Structure 1
Amino acid sequence: MKAVRFHQTGGPEVLVYEDVPDPTAGPGEILIRVDAVGLNYADTMRRRGDDYPEASPVPFTLGIEVAGTVAALGEGVAGPAVGTLVLATPGAGGYAQYIAVPAQIVIPLPEGFDAVNAAALVAHGMTAAIALRKSGRLVEGETVLIEGAAGGLGSFLVQLAKLYGAGKVIAAASTPEKRAIAEKLGADATVDYRQPDWAERVKELTDGPGVDLIMETAGGDNVNRALDALAPFGRMVYLGQSSGKSAQIDPWRLTAYNHSVIGIYIAAYAAWPELMAETMNELIGFLTTGKLSINIGKVMPLSQAAEAHRLLENGLTTGKVVLQPWIEA
């Protein structure tokens, strides 16, 4: 089968589209024919060799989230039946035409779903839902600031914050086009977080105190500027660092305003499969009733994974980028 792997860390050019042995479903596993795999910033971090919670031994196959059809069932697995459209979050290995995964992480999809939308939903939709409610402890009526609001993750954060009862959602994005997308998704106001005074603009939009909850995705110098926009007793959820840069926070600055900074690593929630299944079913329900939409920015062949990484890292995408392993360039 075809897969994309890196044999050394570095820029997008280290991604190699190559032939690898076909996997088989072992005991307790399901073999999935992958029709779509979602691209995430975490993929770029692992490819670059950035500090990451899990090791990436080479040759390494990226791919956190996949959607496709059941190709085979391993010993001891009763279903879903071969041919069923499913999604899964293996954490790695999805940049391939087939993947064998534990049966317990496979979720059948209802009729009417397609693989591209399913792959876009898994990691970003789940992360957004859990970040807002579990990590961020969003309370109805609170104000929320969402960075990267037109991206794959940000698109879900804007919509779900409104669905979960946020009083005001402020979207931070780098271009007028991206801010317009965030407004169409339901943001009440927008700011350009590349401007040096953007935190003051957020305070103006909240009549002084700042926001109750920040979804931090940029990292680097942006983190301390975002904390300037946080109201007393506010929380910041650190979802990632699309800038590729970490942040230095003086713990003492958190004290006077009773600020909290909370990290989230969605893969760790695999230890709570019931929560993951409940959250996914909720998201599917929102989609099927028209309350939630999936913002697909670009669909590309898996063979163009390197170009997809370049686009994502250079901020040239909006919405979710999805790769298709069976489509030729």
Structure 2
Amino acid sequence: MRAIQITEFGGPEVLNVADLPDPVAGPGQLLVEVSRAGVNFADTHQAEDSYLSKTELPLVPGGEVVGRTADGRRVVALTGSGGYAEKAVAAAGMAWDVPEAVDDVTALGMIIQGASAWVLLRRSTHLEPGETVVVHAAAGGVGTLAVQIAKAWGAGRVIATASSKEKRELALELGADVAVDPAEPDLTAALIEANGGRRVDIVLEMTGGRVTDQSLRALAPFGRLAFYGMASREAPSPVQPATLLAHSTTIAGMWLAHVFQMPGDVMGTALRELFGLVADGRLRVVSGGEYGLSEARRAHEDLRARRSTGKLVLDPAR
């Protein structure tokens, strides 16, 4: 089968097309004929070996696929790795049925980005109706969905940040009340101004560096910041306990992998709710572009350079 294989760590240049043996499903596993594979920021960290979990080479990257099993089930699945290929293996417990009315891009958009937005708002920050939510990188995969979910769940105001005029316009189209340039010299003041002069209740943050630092300063008493990535590769400043006490601030970290250690079918619950919002017309996945398998390098380049919006996918047939 055709697949992308990494034999040395690095940037997009290490993604190479290779002919590899078909994977074989073992006990408790499913073999999926891949129709589309999702591309995520985590894949770029995996390629350079800077992800939270260490990676061994050689590696077929790609943690999510949608396709059909041998018995005809249409599933979206988390694979950990191996997704950038014509066929992939997933644990049976990491595959969920997809309604036929849901297209491939939407299905892939829900399993990591949608579920991440769900967990961030439902579990990490415990959004209450009427609260103000700041969504950084609001034109990205998680951001585009978080804006819509926050509105669907009754956020009083959603403030989006995005790096270009076009991306800010997209966030507004998706339901954000106001959009801000994260490059504002005083981002703290810009966020407070965007909230009518009041501090904000919730910040969803995946940029790092000064964006994290200045967002923390914009939080209202009992405000919560949930940190789920560091796209800038810049660490924020260390946070002192006194800083948290100043506004009774909560900082949370979220790595979706930990959801599977929780009791109950949290992922299944999230996907059922998300597919329900899709069916109701209250949630849609923004397609960020479809690339052939041989274009995986360009997909990573576009993602790292923030040239993309929404959900990126690979078509293994090309």
Same fold (TM over 0.5): yes
In structure 2, the residue matched to 1:193 is 182
- What secondary structure is seen at the aligned counterpart in 2 of 1:121? helix
Shift of 1:221: 2.3
- Does the 8 Å CA contact 1:224/1:249 hold for their aligned counterparts? no
Aligned to 2:234: 245
- Cα offset, 1:246, TM superposition: 2.1
Does residue 1:305 correspond to 2:257, yes or no?
no
The answer to whether structure 1 residue 174 and structure 2 residue 173 are counterparts is no
Q: How many residues align?
A: 316
Q: Is the contact made by 1:209 and 1:232 (CA closer than 8 Å) also made in structure 2?
A: no
TM-score when normalising by structure 1: 0.93
Deviation at 1:207, TM superposition (A): 3.1
**In the alignment, what sits opposite 2:82?**
93
Q: Deviations over 1:194-246 (max 9, x none)?
A: 12122212111223331100000111222101112211211100010111222
Q: Name the residue aligned to 1:259.
A: 249
Deviations 1:252-273 (A, max 9, x none): 3222111111000001212245
The answer as to 2:290 corresponding to 1:291 is no
The answer to whether the 8 A contact 1:155-1:295 is kept is yes
Q: Secondary structure at the match of 2:185?
A: coil
Q: Pick one of 100, 115, 119 that aligns with 2:108.
A: 119
Equivalent residue number for residue 322 of structure 1: 313
Q: Deviations over 1:64-95 (max 9, x none)?
A: 21100113xxxxxxxxxx12211011222211
Q: What residue ranges of structure 2 are gaps of 5+ in the alignment?
A: none
How far apart in 2 are the matches of 1:202 and 1:302?
40
Q: Secondary structure at the match of 1:99?
A: strand
Q: How big is each residue's C-alpha offset from its partner over 1:257-314, in whole Å with a ceiling of 9 and x where there is no partner? A: 1111100000121224511101101111111121111101101112111110000101
Question: Percent of aligned positions with the same letter in both sequences?
Answer: 39
AA aligned to 1:296 is: S
Q: 1:205 to 1:114 in 2, by over 3 A?
A: closer
Runs of 4+ in 1 over 3 A off after TM superposition: none
Q: Which amino acid aligns with 1:216?
A: E
Uncovered stretches (5+) of structure 1, i.e. residues with no partner: 72-81
- The answer to whether residue 148 in structure 2 is matched with residue 149 in structure 1 is no
How far apart are residue 100 of structure 1 and its match? 1.4
Identify the residue that residue 5 of structure 1 maps to in structure 2: 5
Q: Distance in 2 between matches of 1:148 and 1:11?
A: 22
Q: 2:207 aligns to what?
A: 218
User: Residue 85 of structure 1 contacts residue 115 of structure 1 at CA under 8 Å; is this kept in 2?
Assistant: no
Mapped partners of 2:89, 2:190: distance in 1? 49
Pairwise CA distance, 1:152: 1.0
Q: Which amino acid aligns with 1:220?
A: G
On the 8 A contact 1:64/1:90 being kept in 2, the answer is yes
1:25 maps onto 2:31 in alignment = no
Q: CA RMSD in A?
A: 1.3
CA distance in 2, matches of 1:68, 1:308: 20
Task: After TM superposition, list the pairs within 5 Å mapping 1:159-170 onto structure 2.
Answer: 159-170=148-159
For 1:227, which of 212, 216, 229 is the aligned residue?
A: 216
Looking at structure 2, the residues matched to 245 and 43 of structure 1 have their Cα atoms a distance apart, in angstroms, of 18
TM alignment of 1:12-91, pairs within 5 A: 12-50=12-50, 52-71=51-70, 82-91=71-80
The range that moved more, 196-205 or 233-242, is 196-205
* Mapped partners of 1:145, 1:59: distance in 2: 39
Three-state SS of the structure 2 residue aligned to 1:165 is coil
Describe the superposition over 1:75-132 as per-residue Cα deviations: whole angstroms up to 9, x where unpaired. Answer: xxxxxxx122110112222111111111111111112223232122210000000111
**Contact 1:209/1:230, CA 8 A, preserved across alignment:** no
Distance in 2 of aligned mates of 1:210 and 1:63: 39
TM-score, length basis structure 2:
0.96
Secondary structure of 2:102 counterpart: coil
Contact 2:187/2:211 (<8 A) preserved = no
